Chain A
Amino acid sequence: MSLLSIAEWLQNTSISTGIRESTWVFPIIETVHLLALAFSVGIIMFVDLRLIGAAMRDQPVTEVFNRLQPMALKGFVVNVVSGMLLFWSEPLKCYHSAYFLIKMVLLLFLGLNAVSFQYVTYPSVATWDKAVAPPFGARFAGWLSLLFWLGVVVMGRAIAYATK
C-alpha cells in the first residue's frame, strides 16, 4: 500500500469528510491548534533562550528546564492531537504539500534534538547549571530548537496557502 493510497483512504473516511465539510469544526480545531502553539512553542522558546544565555540568566538551567519543559510537553500533546485531526480532514492536500513534508521533517529533527539533549548534554548539567552561557552542546541544542520551531510555525502557516 502506497502513502498515496493511505491518504486517499483516510480522505474518504466519514470523520475526514465530517471535519472538512462542517462549518465550525475545522475552524475550532485550527484555533485550538494555534493557541496551543503559543503555549507549547512559546514556552519551550524560553528553555531554548536560557540554553543560549539570552533569557532568565540568573536562574539555574535546571530550574527553568524542570518548571517549563513539562508545561510545554502538555501543550505539545494538544498540538499533536489537534494537528492529527487537521491532517485527517485533508490528507490528500497534505500529501501533495511540500510545506507539510518540510514541517514533518523539521518536527522529526526537533524530536532527535530533544532526545540527544536529554540523554547526551543534560546529564552533565550539574557542572554548568548556573553558567550564564552553558557549554557549546547545550547552546547548539537551544539555537537548533529555536530555528527549527520557527520553521515549523512558518511551514505550518504555508500549508494553508498550498494549492490543492
Chain B
Amino acid sequence: MFPILFPFFHWADASWLSLEIRSSTWQFAILEMIHLVGLTILLGTLWVLDMRLLGLGMRRQPAAELARDLSRWMWIGLWIMLVSGVLLFFGEPMKLFGNPSFHVKMMLLVLAIGFQLTLFRRVVSDKSASAFLDQAAAGLSLVLWFGVGLAGRGIGFL
C-alpha cells in the first residue's frame, strides 16, 4: 500500500529480533495471547468510560472522576498492546507490508490514540461539556477503537 515504506519493512524482516520471534511457533502464539489480554483490558476500560459518557452505567460518579480512576488501567492495557504489537510486527513484517488490513489498522490506531489524548480528554475533564458533546466523544472513541480491533482481526484473514 505504501511502497515508500518498503525499506523499513525489509529491514525489520532481516533483523535479529524478527528471526528470533519466527524461530518457533510458540513465541508468536504467546505474543498474540498477551496482545489479546491487553485488548481486553484496554477495550474494557474504554467501554466502562464510554458507557458512562453515553449515560449508561456508573451514573452516580462524575465522568471526570471515573476517567481518573480508570486511566491507570487504560495505560496498562495500551502499553501491553503496544509492546506485544511491536513484537508481533517483527514476527511477520513482509506479510504485513502487503496486508491492507494492517495499514488501515495503523492509521486508525494513530487516529484513536491522538483523539483519546486530546479532544476526548478535554471533553471528559470539562464538567460543563454538553451531554451531546459527551456522547459524540464516546461514540467516536468506540468507533475508532473498535475499528482498530476489527482491522486487527482482519490481518489474520487477509
A38 touches B40 (CB 8 A): yes
How many whole Å from B134's CB to the nearest CB in chain A? 17
Chain B residues positioned under 8 Å from A157 (CB to CB): 29, 32-33, 36
Partner of A37 from the list B40, B146, B150 (CB cut-off 8 Å) is: B40
Q: Which residue of B lies closest to A27 (CB)?
A: B157
Q: How many A-B residue pairs have CB under 8 A?
A: 92
The stretch of B7-15, B42-50, B102-110 in contact with A is B42-50
Chain A CB within 8 A of B94 CB: no
Chain A CB within 8 A of B56 CB: yes
How many whole Å from A4's CB to the nearest CB in chain B? 27
Number of interface residues of A (CB under 8 A): 29
B48 touches A150 (CB 8 A): no
B157 touches A39 (CB 8 A): no
Partner of B40 from the list A42, A56, A68, A71 (CB cut-off 8 Å) is: A42
Chain A residues positioned under 8 Å from B32 (CB to CB): 157
B146 touches A35 (CB 8 A): yes
A 38-61 to B, binary, CB cutoff 8 A, 1 in contact else 0: 110111011001000001101100
Chain A residues positioned under 8 Å from B69 (CB to CB): 55-56, 58-59
